[in-house]
Structure 1
Amino acid sequence: MNFAVLVFPGSNCDIDMYKAIEDSIGQPVDYVWHTDGDLSKYDCILVPGGFSYGDYLRCGAIAQFTNVMKAVVKAAEEGKYILGICNGFQVLTEARLLPGALLRNNGMKFRCHQTVLKVENNTTAFTRDYAEGELITIPIAHGEGNYYCDEATLKELQENNQIVFRYEAGNNPNGSLDDIAGISNKAGNVVGMMPHPERAIHEILGSADGKKMFTSILSAWREKHDAAAIR
């Protein structure tokens, strides 16, 4: 399975993401620069955290216009797996691959610490190795992680089981609507989340709970790949 880690000017979690793939599932992974418009080689595209283009205008607002994001939109339409983390989540909302927006944290401060998430949907390609309702420890590092959408969109997310992760009840670090920490598109092949699973691969870092996200993606791809081969 081939993974792409996108790199924008200002990305600073791209190396973390690359190493997470190497250490958790040992699959081929490449850095792909923002000017590249061809992602046909890749089965999963990872949009990392950081401050793409300095987060000028809005977080992720400039990155959405790059050649590589046009290719990401095409890849998403083809059913490839897309995962955006932190700034990557912001980029995916700006590119309209996911609904809603990320606002300033309600405390108006950058938050960087471990958080407890509840796995709300374990049927996606990114969460199948978790149990539904499982509590996992994943770190956050963001100043604009306050997820917001209008009432109609929230109702749709709830009814379609598109809320993938919530912050543990009573421990919402940023004021995010409905305690939302991560969502998917309707098809389930695009997921965005504010917490950083790529920083939760080794117990020595405080948690290895993020590893199952990457093993989930690999097992989902293998199942899909094997089914296609049989046909």
Structure 2
Amino acid sequence: MTISLSFVFAIGFIFIHFFSKAMKFIKDSPRSRFLSIAGGIAVSYVFIHLLPELSKHQRVLEQAGAKGVFHLFENHAYLIALLGLTIFYGLERMVKNSKKESGMKKTKPGVFWIHITSFFVYNALIGYLLIRETYKSHWGMFFYFLAMAVHFVTNDHSLRKDHKEIYDHLGRWLLTLAILLGWVVGVFTELKEVYISLLTAFLAGGIILNVLKEELPEERESSFVAFFLGLVSYSVLLLLI
């Protein structure tokens, strides 16, 4: 049942990448309220579910810290989350600088490949955790799907804005493949819990940065009310399950 349900949700992720371009109601400035609601939902998921889970992952890292290279991470689950945030911040600055240097509204080809490769790994990780994350119930998997689904809509919008036609012609297909690849790897391969802990912490940091970079710039004219509504309503749902 878990594999079947996770496959349905993986297909749902794939459909989002296929059809997000057709969501004509999404605009950048003033920022679509849907994108602000989506940002609130994703942030809520990180702070209500993922970050509290890091305390459990921290214990896993502590147990693994006595052996091998894992002693480097003995007390640093949150440091891995910070690393995820930092890497995606660096990628964001690279994209902005590329657009500024070229004098164009889209990035250079080399920057596109670096950027899309990072999101390929990001999407594959989300696909893998769809089936390998520990959920208390099927509702837990559903709320993971919901949070990542709206997050994918935001990411699609951002990547399309940065890379223009090449994202629709090539990038979104690669990101779709990444989700399916991550899910398939999850079906046939089970990583040790310590690796799951590291990946989950990294994902938490990446989600925080990818949401806030879209919500904070003043020129986006983001809606705080919509962001707050998404955050509060989703937080209540998470606390009820």
TM-score, with structure 1 as normaliser: 0.27
Specify the structure having the higher radius of gyration (Cα).
Answer: 2
Q: Which has the higher relative contact order, 1 or 2, with Cα contacts under 8 A spaced 6 or more apart?
A: 2
Higher strand share: 1
Q: TM-score, normalized by length of structure 2?
A: 0.27
